[in-house]
Structure 1
Amino acid sequence: MAGLQLEEVRKVYGNGQVAVHDASFRIEDGELMVLVGPSGCGKSTLLRMIAGLEEITSGTLRIGGRVVNDVAPKDRDIAMVFQSYALYPHMTVAENLGFGLKLRGQPRAEVERRVAAAAAMLGLEGMLGKRPREMSGGQRQRVALGRALVREPEVFLLDEPLSNLDAKLRHSTRTEIARLHRRLGTTMVYVTHDQVEAMTLGQRIVVLDAGRIQQIDTPMVLYERPANLFVAGFLGSPAMNLLEGELQAADGLRLAVDGAPAAGVPLPGATVPDAWLGRRVVLGVRPEHLSPAPGDGLPARVEVVEAVGSEAYLHLDFAGRPLVSRLPPQSLPVPGAELRMRADPAHLHFFDPQSGARLAI
């Protein structure tokens, strides 16, 4: 096993496009780190630089303390799992699992030992004689994982390995990867655009946008204290509600929103520094912290009700702005109903509308 250290790692293509801007962070030995962000944010490019499949323009990459900028991929002691399974269709599962080891000249007994161990770990024992066409997508992805597993590398790199699976298979395979990491204790770097995958798998998460690192932390810190508007809007399903306006102290703290009723957004129980009064801010409220309340609250009209069993989502309209409220199972309002909604004062987020940075109270 080995940790990774990136020091101002940068990738610039020949046309001048900067894909990754000076990425600096450490992945601890045995950690499962997730790189997440929208398409084109640089996450896969960063992973490919770690793998040695993309040249590093500048900066330093260390694996296990060794600088590997100019080390060939085959000599980095890494194993990579791609979005496509890339299995040999004419080979059995056992042959697919052991093929890379045979190419490296491993003795037959060692190949069989590693193949058997990987098959047992991934529940593939009864499928070793099958060919890929006889298997489901989830089973093929497990074979792809097993092919990396038999290498016994210092670092696993996974590039959106679940993207080709349906929702049910994604969930079950995600659980298998988490169990596999706990069992092996091997360093893993996992790339995804799916923030649910990132939140459920990562011990820590690197959030990227436009090639720049926005925040690095544990899933719950990112969720509860996003560093900026991008992280606040990207992580969370449904996304955080965001409203821009001016903070005022008339009859208690409230946010005056352009084009909204004069009462704006009442914030009973919330406190902010006196210097913030009269300042324009972006108020953030997670859907679970916005709920119907009698009396003083922001007026909203119910547009759509989504009841999904264990919880329900109210899609609301507030002065032409969409809001979402997450509620436990209960008697739900009907579309068209007029409600008063109140934000939990203990779970409010404030951001600067120009820089997007979080404002610390």
Structure 2
Amino acid sequence: MATVSLENLRKVYPNGHVAVADASFDIDDGELLVLVGPSGCGKTTLLRMIAGLETITAGTLSIGGQVMNDVPPKDRDIAMVFQNYALYPHMTVAENMGFGLHLRGMPRADIARRVDEVARLLELEHKLAARPAALSGGQRQRVALGRAMVRQPAVFLLDEPLSNLDARLRLSTRVEIARLHRRFGSTTIYVTHDQVEAMTLGQRIVVFDNGEIQQIDTPMNLYERPANLFVAGFLGSPAMNLLHGTLHHDDGLTLATAAGSIRLGLPPQHAALERWHDRQVVVGIRPEDLRLLAGDDPGMALAARLEVVEPVGNEVFLNLRHGELALVARTPPGTACAACDTVRLGLDPQRLHFFDPHDGTRIG
């Protein structure tokens, strides 16, 4: 296995489009790092630069301490799993998995041994004689993973490998990838636009937008302390609620919005918010941090009109309207309220997030 180091890596196309802008971070030996962001943000371009499939405009890429900028893909000791499987339809599963080793001139007996070992791990040992057309989508994806695994490369690169699977297969294959990584401890870079995949798989996550790194951190640190409005809105399902208004200091904090004033109490960031008195801010509240209040509950509250109730089994999503602002609250099952009700929502001052409305950066 190997470390991967990116130093001011940059990709600019001939038309002037900057696909990746000065990306710098290190990936530890054996780490599973996820690149996540919306479609077109540059994450796949960055992965292809690491693989050698895209030229590097500027910056330095190192794998295992060796600079790789001008090294051909075949000499980088990496294995890439593509979104579309890229299996040869005329070859059997065994032939597909061993094809890369065959091109490298490995003896047939050694190829067969490696293919058999990986096939057992992926529960494909009974499909080795089948061709891709006879396999399910999940089995084809496992063959693509197996083809990379038999190579025993220094670095695995996975480009949205689950996007073509249905929801059930995505879940089971995601668990399989996590289990295999724990077993082999291979250095892995995983690209996805699905924030659930990113949060559940990544030991660390790199959040991308418009070719720029927004934040690098562990999944829970990203969720609990987003660096800016983009990260706050991108990670979390449903997304964080964002309230725009003017901040006032009067026996605690109050946010004056177009729909009225909301008491915020005294959050931990109150010292950093002193200079924001009478200024515009954005207050973020996760759906699980909004709770329904009983009529006599004196907690910090805002009134909202309930529009849609979405029961999903183990929890209920309440879609609400506070003036013109749409809100979502996550509540336990059995919540007793109906559409068109006006409800009071409690806010926990300890769980509030504050952002600068102009550049989106976190306050405090």
Q: TM-score, normalised by structure 2?
A: 0.96
Is it true that 1:352 corresponds to 2:356 in the alignment?
yes
- The aligned amino acid for 1:125 is E
Deviates more, 1:237-246 or 1:271-280: 271-280
8 Å Cα contact 2:254/2:262 also seen in 1: yes
Determine the structure 1 residue equivalent to 2:264. Answer: 267
- The aligned amino acid for 1:118 is V
Determine the structure 2 residue equivalent to 1:194. Answer: 194
- The aligned amino acid for 2:123 is G
Is it true that 1:232 corresponds to 2:232 in the alignment?
yes
Residues in 2 aligned to 1:270 and 1:66: alpha-carbon distance in whole angstroms? 48
Residues in 1 aligned to 2:275 and 2:359: alpha-carbon distance in whole angstroms? 18
Residues in 2 aligned to 1:275 and 1:77: alpha-carbon distance in whole angstroms? 53
1:161 offset after TM fit, Å?
A: 0.4
Identical-residue share of aligned pairs (%)? 66
Deviates more, 1:225-234 or 1:243-252: 243-252
Pick from 329, 334, 338: which aligns with 2:338?
334
1:120 offset after TM fit, Å?
A: 1.1
Matches within 5 A, 1:150-299: 150-250=150-250, 252-257=252-257, 259-261=258-260, 264-270=261-267, 272-273=270-271, 274-293=274-293, 294-295=297-298, 297-299=301-303
1:329 offset after TM fit, Å?
A: 1.5
Matches within 5 A, 1:132-147: 132-147=132-147
**Structure 2 gap ranges (5+):** none
Residue aligned with 2:220, SS: helix
Matches within 5 A, 1:107-118: 107-118=107-118
- Write the deviation string for residues 183-227 of structure 1: whole angstroms up to 9, x where unpaired: 110100000000110000000000000000000000000000000
Determine the structure 2 residue equivalent to 1:72. Answer: 72
- The aligned amino acid for 2:307 is E
Residues in 1 aligned to 2:267 and 2:230: alpha-carbon distance in whole angstroms? 24
Residue aligned with 2:2, SS: coil
Determine the structure 1 residue equivalent to 2:29. Answer: 29
1:277 offset after TM fit, Å?
A: 2.3
Number of paired residues? 357
Is it true that 1:343 corresponds to 2:347 in the alignment?
yes
- The aligned amino acid for 1:320 is E
Determine the structure 1 residue equivalent to 2:5. Answer: 5
8 Å Cα contact 1:266/1:342 also seen in 2: no
8 Å Cα contact 2:316/2:335 also seen in 1: no
8 Å Cα contact 1:312/1:329 also seen in 2: yes
Determine the structure 2 residue equivalent to 1:50. Answer: 50
Residues in 1 aligned to 2:92 and 2:112: alpha-carbon distance in whole angstroms? 14
8 Å Cα contact 1:79/1:151 also seen in 2: yes
Residue aligned with 2:199, SS: helix
- The aligned amino acid for 1:172 is S
Determine the structure 1 residue equivalent to 2:88. Answer: 88
Residues in 2 aligned to 1:253 and 1:97: alpha-carbon distance in whole angstroms? 61
1:252 offset after TM fit, Å?
A: 4.0
Residues in 1 aligned to 2:313 and 2:28: alpha-carbon distance in whole angstroms? 39
- The aligned amino acid for 1:359 is I
Residues in 1 aligned to 2:254 and 2:120: alpha-carbon distance in whole angstroms? 59
Stretches of 4+ moved more than 6 A in 1?
none
Residues in 2 aligned to 1:111 and 1:124: alpha-carbon distance in whole angstroms? 16
Determine the structure 1 residue equivalent to 2:127. Answer: 127
RMSD: 1.1
Is it true that 1:318 corresponds to 2:322 in the alignment?
yes
Determine the structure 1 residue equivalent to 2:308. Answer: 304
Residues in 2 aligned to 1:62 and 1:332: alpha-carbon distance in whole angstroms? 57
Residues in 1 aligned to 2:176 and 2:61: alpha-carbon distance in whole angstroms? 29
Residue aligned with 2:255, SS: strand
- The aligned amino acid for 1:265 is I
Residue aligned with 2:265, SS: coil
Residues in 1 aligned to 2:100 and 2:33: alpha-carbon distance in whole angstroms? 26
